[in-house]
Amino acid sequence: MTGLGYAPPWSVNAGFVAGRETTLIVDTGANALAAATLHGYASAASGGNRLAVIDTERHFDHIGGNGYFRDRGIDVYGHANIRRTAEEFRAEIDDFNDQIRNPFRRARGEAQVFYHQTRLENPNRPISENTSMDLGNCEIEILLTPGHTPTNLSVWVPRDGVLFSGDCLVNLYLPNLDSGTAIDWQQWLQSLDRIADLAPAVVMPGHGPVARGDEVNRLIASVRDVLRQAIADGRSPTSRAATA
């Protein structure tokens, strides 16, 4: 599902992979409403399958719906270093509210509507290495693809040639390099090389339209070019130094 709501202009993507026994939901969106949407579609598509969830990274637009699934006893897999705090989550809500342009709506605290019944929940099934998972006649691979953050994962479905890349790849957006340093960006380049070696037929990026066929290579190249330029410049393209 592309474009689940978040802070404009960013819209996070999420999806699911259904085997014969288990349906794996990839990312939970920013809030409980997004999670409910994902839960509904995944449940309808997979009949009586067991549901599981995986977070592709630590940022709240990818993990905000975790609490909805944990309240229903559904396991959430994610990088072992995803340990967000209640204070960080409150700051996220405040930042979202600050982006409301109308001062009266901002004063009303209307961000609380977006985060209604949303609570922070970190993954309860930590992942610290590349991991295979059998969904029932459907083997998937969970790959460590750090760079955007040290906690980034990708979900590879070899049978279908489909990759859920999280924010390791974003389509038509400028990649967010502000969460890391040049060392992280070098790791990101290595993650891109690994993705390219898989030769996926379809990529669900963390943000933006799905990429298919020849567009996949162009997508990888576009993110690689931004990273190489940032490493050469010694700064993110969206840093204050770059825009001053």
Among the listed residues 180, 146, 153, 168, the one whose alpha carbon sits nearest the alpha carbon of residue 224: 168
The whole-angstrom separation of Cα 219 and Cα 209 is 11
Convert the pLDDT of each residue in 137-196 to its tens digit.
999 999 999 999 999 999 999 999 999 999 999 999 999 999 899 999 999 999 999 999
Convert the pLDDT of each residue in 35-82 to its tens digit.
999 999 999 998 899 999 999 999 999 999 999 999 999 999 999 999
Q: Determine if residue 221 is left, alpha or beta; phi over 0 gives left, psi from -120 to 50 gives alpha, anything else beta.
A: alpha
Tokens, residue 135 = 């969904």
Among the listed residues 164, 201, 197, 216, the one whose alpha carbon sits nearest the alpha carbon of residue 25: 164
For the chain, domains (ranges, CATH) are 15-99+116-243 (3.60.15.10)
Among the listed residues 70, 74, 14, 16, the one whose alpha carbon sits nearest the alpha carbon of residue 46: 16
What integer best gives the mean pLDDT of the chain? 95
Please state whether beta strands 139-144 and 153-157 pair in parallel, antiparallel, or not at all (unpaired): antiparallel
Query: pLDDT tier at 243 (50, 70, 90 boundaries)?
Result: very low
The whole-angstrom separation of Cα 5 and Cα 29 is 8
As a three-state string, the secondary structure of the chain is CCCECCCCCCCECCEEEECCCEEEEECCCCCHHHHHHHHHHHHHHHCCCEEEEECCCCCHHHHCCHHHHHCCCCCEEEECCCCCCHHHHHHHHHHHHHCCCCHHHHHHCCHHHHCCCCCCCCCCEEECCCEEEECCCCEEEEEECCCCCCCCEEEEECCCCEEEEEEEEECCCCCCCCCCCHHHHHHHHHHHHHHHHHCCCEEEEEECCCEECHHHHHHHHHHHHHHHHHHHHCCCCCCHHHHC
Tokens, residue 220 = 């990888």
Convert the pLDDT of each residue in 102-122 to its tens digit.
999 999 999 999 999 999 999
Cross-strand bridge partners of residue 170: 207
